[in-house]
Amino acid sequence: MSFEADLKTLFGLDTVTYKYDLGKAELFDAAIAHDRGRIHQGGATDVQKAFPTKLGKHGPLAYYTDPDCTGRRVKDTYAVAWPEVADQIWFKDDLNRYDPDKYQVLLKRVVEHCNAKHSTLYVKDVFMGSDPEFAVPYRFVGEYATHALFAHNMFPKDLQGVKDVDTRRWTMLNVPSFWCDPAIDGCRSEAAIVIDIRNRICLVAGRADYSGSVKKTIFTVGNFLFPQQGRLSMHCSANVGANGDAAILFGLSGTGKTTLSADASRRLIGDDEIIWSDKDMGLCNLEGGCFAKLIDLDKHAEPVIASALKTPFAVLENVPALPGRKMEDCNPDDLDLSDRSITENLRISYPLEINPNVMPGGMGPQPKTIVLLTADAFGVLPPISILDAKDAMYHYVSGFTSKLAGTEVGVKEPQPAFSAGFGGPFMSLRPNVYAKLLAEKMERQKARCILLNTGWSGGPYGIGKRMKLSITRALLNAALEGKLDSVETVKHPVLNLHMPKACPGVDAKILNPRDTWADKTAYDAAAIKVRDMFRKNFETKGFATFGIEARI
């Protein structure tokens, strides 16, 4: 069946024009010429959204989202509560229940909207996963050429050996020009991102044009599918050292997964979405690109990401032009990456191969080190803690960090957050499913585990300072090289974490966070506050009933 016939059968699209499988240069031109919408609060809804830089086609595309969608619309993300899957889905604040009848009304109205306006839709066929054994066929269909270019950058393409492509394909219909009506459509606002497991559809309707929706929605799908196959899908990065030592780095957006995995001395598997299976090459990237944060980028400390700024057909998202100049007159190297006038969530999408050391096929061996990343805005957690198996399970299901400004709509400054598996919004099954798989695989591989704090030291946010990247890298490298395996530790008296008393290349004075605070009494009070937050989260989520042992 042709893709046109397939889309007519699936949706009823019959008076639209398709631009199928355009190359990067064609998508670049189409985005500049045709992507239209709103880029200023209260502004017109039909203005240009994509622009070239001074480098033209030799450089990136600059794209601007709707001002109401500079990050993920977590409260507007849903799964359809079809009877056959409703009991399996982990419905929560960031994956809401959508009434099946209302969903069918919404989908019909979106399709009628496209047919009535004779929409031009860009179609890009890609895969979620680089291993043909389990890769999921994924078809993007949407109004913005920018999003098709983003999909081209971010996912594997032309993967050979994938079976049953047509019967296993998931399709995203992405229509920013349609505005939802909560009274009719049963959603919360004028935008909705809806996963339909029965029909293998991802619907993005309304002002939800943040590019991350193109990848995180299908990742949420994968988190439903893969664990039921015995494969652990993870919100993490992964890389491999010169000695074949693989590492997994868990963490929410903004905790350092992309930055820390982009290490020139190690070969990258992927920076955000990874599968862990029982094969010899057990780690597999679900993507073919990187979606890195740019705010306050230190180009010397992060040369891989800095070099991507000049990459042809990379996508810069919400990066302002230089004051008084048009983007087409700006050299990407000169852009002010500390400019927060649009959002803190400045982003760049670029192909994985931009990294100098990439594992062939996006796959790597079984991991030797598990890293749990957190960005503690309270300044309480040690910069590094050594975890035993029970500690690892506890901190994995707790998923403590701080939501960083710009990562989600409405987040203006760091806020404490507990996110199971360090990716709760994307976990579509209950957390015990992932926790059980992680425990089994860690035990089988005898992998070491550390908790690495990339957050604040010397005081909370606003008083202390964020941990220097150079210190974080030194701590991480010591762990990866096994230099902390037998080091003497001291137990944190409140948080029950084992802190190394020394680490090569790191001032021992910072290893115990209490020693970095001028006001020790204030630190003790803050530590008790954080401890109580952990305990409340553990009790509220009912993790004890899943066989997880409380460790704090």
- The residues annotated with a catalytic role in the active site are 72, 216, 235, 253, 257-258, 272, 347
Written as one letter, the residue type at 449 is C
- CA gap 427, 430 in Å, rounded: 7
Instruction: Render 271-326 in DSSP notation, one character per residue.
Output: SSEEEE-SSSS-EEES-SEEEEE-TT--TTT-HHHHHHTT-TT-EEESPPPPTTS-
Q: Using alpha carbons, select from 543, 393, 375, 542 the residue that is nearest to residue 460.
A: 375
Cβ(226)–Cβ(134) under 8 Å?
yes
Buried b (16+ CB within 10 A) or exposed e, 178-213: bebeeeebbbebbbbbbbbbeebbbbbbbbbbbbbb
Secondary element (H or E) of residue 435: helix 431-445
3-state secondary structure of 47: strand
Place of tokens 């957190």: 374
Q: Using alpha carbons, select from 341, 289, 272, 335 the residue that is nearest to residue 309.
A: 335
Cβ(50)–Cβ(63) under 8 Å?
yes
- CA gap 508, 500 in Å, rounded: 9
3-state secondary structure of 26: helix
Cβ(467)–Cβ(382) under 8 Å?
no
- CA gap 203, 194 in Å, rounded: 5
CB atoms within 10 A of CB 268: 27
309: Cβ contacts below 8 Å, ≥ 6 apart: 60, 316, 332, 333, 335, 348
- CA gap 146, 299 in Å, rounded: 25
Instruction: Render 339-354 in DSSP notation, one character per residue.
Output: --SS-S--EEEEEGGG
